[in-house]
């Protein structure tokens, strides 16, 4: 496929992305709510930014600031739903598929676009795409962009231009401020660029060319640093995003090799088809692309495994970061086993019909295999989040606290921006977090509090509060029970009098 001959390629990628994510992502308008706790924390912080709250300082959460800025943009589109997030996800998926086309045309020519529904269905319907709106998902076009730049140097046996070094820096800077554990693939691309420069007799120009990469990273970092400097929160940015992530996240770190082994096991467990394709690529890329491309493919994967999985034990969505290697593996497999189709010229109408049929089949595949579709059967008024929002309004409104668990979407449903820095309890080993939440309750600062339990009875009772509503909901294969507490007026009045 020559992309210059097919201007609708980007449009096709957008159609495939939208049809895939309409089914696979809980941020889709087909779902009543994205009930994933992580996605709700991102959107809560993003919504808070629009109300003058500063991440880390006013709302404690540990992901990257650029991720929150993206969710602030999503909240500008829709502050009462995940529709803005869905649009950002669709744009990211479109960019990823388009980049995959550019990469795969080297291996399977015009056949590449036909494979986009296969690629999309294999990745986004996998179990590692749990819920939708993960940092792993949103970083895929950025990491694949870096891989493409390095691949151009290796496959084309040429030195990178200053423009390519600059773009690599911009992409790396963006990933640095979303989730820095994905920087391994950027190291691989930079190494490929350095080796290519040396082989092409441009070693003396490397300092100047690498400076373009540094300038690109600085350009991506400038908005972040200006925002936190303007709000006097640079120290909070570094102490939470870097220190807490490195030393407190997940309750501490375990042995490096154990972490990597756990991550690879999760790849097989939650992303089987993409993992099999990547494994096939480790054999087929050397056979079809040669030693240099094989070294780049394997080296990039090794560095990505080290940085993405090495820090601590994995969660179900971690393997999605490795999906960046599926396009290379799938394209090589198609070029190896379907060589007669890779260069065959098809009429435009036939080409479009095949792509359309593939998109429809991808949608059916997603309906059959995505774990998320169970949530489609619910209406909003059946969900605890919206049930409690109505009860809070009926009781005169007031401040809400998500007590003892990660943000469950109750702030979004109630249309509230949290008043409390520790607005939920996350995976950080931060003793002051639980202590602060207890103080919000004991001091009566929270008018309402939501508690979650695996049992039909609340696992904790809040002194000075009474249960005014109960609801239950399935979260994949787990059933959770939710309880809405209201501060007793007499107790709150006594506290106010004492103060």
Query: What does the pLDDT read at residue 454?
Result: 95
* Shared domain check, 492 and 355: no
| Mean pLDDT of the 347-371 span | 89
Domain finish residue from 374, 400, 416: 374
The percentage of residues in the chain with a pLDDT greater than 70, rounded to a whole number, is 94
* Residues 336 and 417 placed together within one structural domain of the fold: no
Residues 422 and 308 in one domain: no
Residues 197 and 279 in one domain: yes
Query: Tens of pLDDT along 265-294?
Result: 999 999 999 999 999 999 999 988 889 999
Confidence of residue 1 (pLDDT cuts 50, 70, 90): very low
Predicted TM-score (pTM) of the model is 0.94
What pLDDT sits at residue 431? 86
Domain of 123, in residue numbers: 3-374
On whether both 361 and 397 belong to a single domain, the answer is no
Same domain, residue pair 442 and 393: yes
CA-closest candidate to residue 303, choices 93, 150, 154, 169: 150
pLDDT tens readout for residues 47-86: 999 999 999 999 999 999 999 999 999 999 999 999 999 9
Backbone angles phi, psi at 479, to 5 degrees: -105, 125
**Contact indicator for 98, 9 with CB cutoff of 8 Å:** yes
Q: Is the pLDDT of residue 210 over 60?
A: yes
pLDDT of residue 435: 95
58: its two tokens: 């006013």
Give the C-alpha separation, 141 to 320, whole Å: 12
Q: Which tens digits make up the pLDDT trace of 138-166?
A: 999 999 999 999 999 998 889 999 999 99
User: Does 181 lie in the same domain as 97?
Assistant: yes
Residue of 211 and 114 predicted with greater confidence: 211
Helix residue ranges per DSSP H, 112-239: 116-124, 135-155, 162-176, 184-199, 206-230, 234-236
Using the 8-state DSSP alphabet, how is residue 111 labeled? G
pLDDT reported for residue 5 = 41
Say whether both 321 and 432 belong to one domain.
no
Residue 48: phi and psi, rounded to 5, are -65, -35
**pLDDT value for 322:** 98
Please determine, for residue 252, whether its predicted confidence score (pLDDT) is greater than 90. Answer: no
Model confidence at 495, in pLDDT bands (50, 70, 90)? low
What DSSP letter does each residue of 379-414 carry, written as one string? -GGGSHHHHHHHHHHHTT---EEEESSS--SHHHHH
Q: Residues 83-133: pLDDT tens digits?
A: 999 999 999 999 999 999 999 988 777 678 889 999 999 999 999 999 999
Nearest residue to 217 (alpha-carbon basis) of 180, 167, 162, 145: 167
Across 8-166, where does the E strand assignment appear?
Answer: none
Residue 318 corresponds to which tokens in the numbers above?
A: 């971690």
Pairwise pLDDT comparison (348 vs 241), residue with the higher score: 241
**Measured between alpha carbons, how far is 496 from 57 in angstroms, rounded to an integer?**
26
Q: Is residue 393 domain-shared with residue 362, that is, in the same domain?
A: no
Phi, psi at 428, each rounded to 5°: -75, 145
Domain match, 315 and 417 both:
no
Q: What is the domain count for the chain?
A: 2
Please count the CA atoms within 13 angstroms of the CA of 93 that sit on its side-chain side: 33
| CA 269 to each of CA 135, 200, 274, 312, 314: distance values in angstroms, whole numbers, following the listed order | 20, 43, 11, 18, 12
> What is the length of the chain?
499
List beta partners, residue 480: 473
Is the pLDDT at 341 greater than 70, yes or no?
no
What Rg, from alpha-carbon coordinates, does the chain have? 24
Q: Which of 374, 389, 404 represents a domain boundary (last residue)?
A: 374
Residue 203 pLDDT > 60? yes
pLDDT in tens, 289-335: 889 999 999 999 999 999 999 988 899 999 999 999 999 999 999 88
Q: Give the chain's mean pLDDT.
A: 92
3-state secondary structure of 47: helix
Q: Are 112 and 146 contained in the same domain?
A: yes
Percent above pLDDT 90 for the chain: 82
Domain termination site, one of 348, 374, 400 = 374
What is the pLDDT, as a whole number, of residue 249? 80
Residue 303, token pair as written in the block: 């560095």
Say yes or no: 360 and 399 in one domain: no
């Amino acid at each position: 496929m020559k992309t210059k001959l097919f201007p609708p390629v980007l449009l096709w990628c957008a159609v495939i992305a939208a049809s895939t994510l309409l089914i696979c992502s809980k941020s889709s308008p087909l779902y009543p709510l994205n009930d994933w706790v992580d996605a709700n924390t991102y959107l809560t912080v993003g919504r808070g930014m629009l109300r003058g709250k500063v991440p880390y300082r006013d709302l404690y959460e540990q992901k990257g600031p650029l991720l929150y800025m993206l969710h602030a943009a999503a909240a500008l589109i829709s502050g009462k739903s995940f529709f803005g997030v869905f649009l950002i996800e669709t744009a990211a998926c479109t960019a990823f598929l388009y980049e995959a086309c550019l990469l795969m045309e080297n291996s399977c020519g015009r056949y590449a676009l036909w494979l986009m529904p296969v690629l999309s269905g294999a990745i986004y319907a996998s179990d590692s795409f749990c819920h939708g709106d993960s940092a792993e998902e949103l970083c895929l076009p950025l990491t694949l962009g870096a891989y493409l730049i390095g691949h151009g140097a290796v496959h084309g046996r040429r030195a990178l231009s200053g423009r390519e070094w600059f773009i690599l820096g911009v992409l790396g800077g963006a990933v640095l401020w979303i989730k820095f554990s994905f920087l391994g693939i950027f190291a691989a691309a930079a190494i490929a660029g350095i080796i290519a420069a040396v082989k092409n007799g441009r070693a003396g120009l490397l300092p100047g060319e690498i400076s373009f990469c540094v300038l690109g990273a600085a350009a991506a970092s400038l908005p972040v640093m200006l925002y936190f400097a303007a709000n006097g929160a640079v120290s909070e940015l570094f102490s939470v995003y870097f220190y807490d992530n490195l030393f407190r996240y997940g309750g501490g770190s375990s042995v490096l090799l154990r972490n990597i082994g756990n991550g690879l096991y999760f790849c097989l467990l939650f992303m089987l088809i993409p993992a099999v394709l990547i494994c096939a690529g480790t054999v087929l890329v050397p056979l079809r692309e040669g030693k240099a491309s094989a070294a780049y493919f394997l080296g990039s994967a090794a560095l990505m495994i080290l940085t993405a999985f090495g820090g601590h034990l994995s969660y179900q969505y971690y393997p999605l970061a490795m999906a960046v290697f599926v396009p290379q593996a799938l394209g090589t497999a198609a070029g190896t086993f379907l060589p007669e189709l890779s260069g065959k010229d098809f009429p435009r109408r036939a080409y479009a019909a095949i792509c359309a049929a593939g998109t429809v089949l991808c949608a059916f595949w997603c309906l059959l295999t995505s774990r998320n579709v169970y949530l489609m059967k619910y209406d909003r008024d059946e969900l605890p989040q919206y049930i409690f929002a109505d009860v809070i309004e009926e009781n005169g409104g007031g401040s809400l606290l998500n007590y003892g668990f990660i943000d469950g979407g109750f702030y979004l449903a109630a249309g509230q921006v949290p008043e409390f820095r520790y607005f939920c309890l996350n995976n950080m080993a931060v003793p002051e977090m639980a202590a602060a939440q207890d103080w919000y309750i004991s001091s009566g600062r929270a008018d309402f509090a939501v508690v979650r339990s695996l049992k039909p009875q609340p696992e904790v009772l809040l002194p000075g509060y009474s249960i005014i509503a109960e609801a239950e909901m399935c979260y994949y294969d787990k059933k959770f029970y939710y309880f809405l507490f209201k501060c007793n007026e007499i107790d709150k009045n006594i506290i106010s009098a004492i103060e």
